[in-house]
């Protein structure tokens, strides 16, 4: 008996439709968020993440409606984020049905926002999303959808974020994202060992072996993927059976 490693499908949306891209660019449509949410809920996903990657201000009502409709489908936890810049933004996302709020660019620009959310909703509801890109001797934090380098070493930013009140880190490798060449194990292990909170690994998943590696060598607590689940290249149920047969504790739905 111990805590199961989580498998988390991610729905990147433009507000209302699921989209996908490589290296944060070249978006194309990949389905209806409500249908996908219902499917993942039934297939044994441990949690669902919904992000508004367009995050345009005039688009907010549409995204909130998407969160409401997705939450209706779920009896598992839901994280939502993308474009959350204030406590009020976070409140509206929670009221729409999200259990956790994901912060990225706004947390780098206004680190005090992490603490404000943590005090209001509890640390377990604040997910710090970090997009990290490998440099020569460290990983650099990227913001604004991966386009802009921030003045933070990813490892130090993760530690600072936890001090400020984040209860979880969603760690995306900008180098691996969309490449399907496997998670960045060195990055994931470095961050996971440096912080006291759970780490969700993201970016590069394709094969069941990639998940096995990130839970063992990568020391991840959870792993996130998008297109391999959307395209039905990988069933969540089969992935979990594979992990269990390789000694990784997972929740096999009854």
Partner 1 sequence: MIATLIDYGAGNVTSVARALRRLGAEVRTTNQPEEITTATCLILPGVGHCAALLNSLDAHGLRGPLLTAISRGTPFLGICLGLQALYQSSAEAPELSGFGLLHGHVDQLPQKVKLPHMGWNQLRPLRDCRLLDGISSDAYFYFAHSYAAPAGGLATAATCEHGREFTAVLETAQIFGVQFHPEKSGAPGAKLLDNFLRLAA
Q: Is 204 left (phi over 0), alpha (psi -120 to 50) or beta?
A: left
Distances in Å between the Cα of 191 and the Cα atoms of 22, 65, 132, 161 are 23, 34, 10, 12
Among residues 11, 37, 125, 205, the one that binds partner 1 under rule CB under 8 A: 125
Distances in Å between the Cα of 117 and the Cα atoms of 37, 105, 173 are 26, 15, 25
Among residues 88, 232, 247, 254, the one that binds partner 1 under rule CB under 8 A: 254
Marked catalytic residue, from 89, 131, 177, 184? 131
Marked catalytic residue, from 12, 14, 46, 177? 12
Residue 72 Cβ vs partner 1, minimum distance, rounded to whole Å: 7
Q: Assign 98 to helix, strand or coil.
A: coil
- Angle, to 10 degrees, between the axis of helix 185-194 and the axis of helix 154-164? 40
Please give the distance of CA 120 from its chain centroid, rounded to a whole number. Answer: 21
For partner 1, give the closer residue by CB, 13 or 73: 73
Where would I find the beta strands (DSSP E) of the chain?
6-13, 18-22, 25-31, 48-52, 78-81, 100-103, 126-134, 139-143, 148-153, 168-173, 199-202, 222-225
Residue 96 Cβ vs partner 1, minimum distance, rounded to whole Å: 9
Active site annotation includes 46: no
Quote the CA–CA distance of 200 and 197 in Å, as a whole number. Answer: 10
Active site annotation includes 12: yes
For partner 1, give the closer residue by CB, 21 or 77: 77
For partner 1, give the closer residue by CB, 78 or 106: 78
Residue 185 Cβ vs partner 1, minimum distance, rounded to whole Å: 18
Q: Which residues between 182 and 221 bind partner 1 (CB under 8 A)?
A: 196-198, 221
For partner 1, give the closer residue by CB, 2 or 151: 2
Q: Which residues between 66 and 95 bind partner 1 (CB under 8 A)?
A: 71-72, 74-77, 94-95
Residue 57 Cβ vs partner 1, minimum distance, rounded to whole Å: 24
| Residues at the site binding partner 1, with contacts judged by CB under 8 A | 1-6, 46-47, 71-72, 74-77, 94-95, 97, 99, 119-125, 167-168, 196-198, 221-222, 251, 253-254
């Amino acid at each position: 008996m111990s805590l199961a490693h989580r498998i988390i499908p991610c729905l990147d949306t433009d507000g209302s439709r699921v989209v996908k891209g490589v290296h944060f660019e070249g978006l194309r449509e990949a389905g209806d968020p409500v249908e996908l949410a219902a499917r993942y809920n039934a297939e044994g996903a441990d949690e669902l993440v919904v992000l508004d990657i367009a995050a345009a201000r005039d688009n907010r009502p549409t995204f909130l409606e998407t969160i409401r409709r997705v939450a209706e489908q779920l009896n598992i936890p839901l994280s939502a984020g993308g474009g959350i810049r204030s406590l009020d933004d976070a409140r509206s996302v929670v009221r729409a049905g999200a259990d956790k709020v994901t912060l990225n660019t706004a947390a780098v620009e206004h680190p005090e926002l992490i603490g404000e959310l943590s005090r209001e909703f509890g640390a377990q509801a604040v997910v710090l999303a970090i997009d990290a890109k490998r440099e020569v001797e460290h990983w650099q934090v990227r913001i604004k959808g991966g386009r802009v380098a921030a003045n933070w070493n990813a490892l130090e930013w993760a530690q600072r974020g936890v001090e400020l009140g984040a209860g979880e880190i969603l760690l995306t490798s900008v180098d691996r994202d969309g490449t399907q060449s496997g998670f960045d194990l060195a990055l994931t292990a470095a961050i996971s060992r440096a912080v006291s909170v759970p780490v969700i690994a993201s970016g590069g998943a394709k094969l069941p072996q990639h998940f096995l590696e990130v839970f063992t060598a990568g020391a991840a607590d959870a792993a996130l993927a998008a297109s391999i689940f959307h395209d039905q290249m990988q069933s969540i149920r089969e992935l979990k059976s594979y992990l269990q047969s390789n000694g990784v504790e997972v929740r096999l739905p009854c």
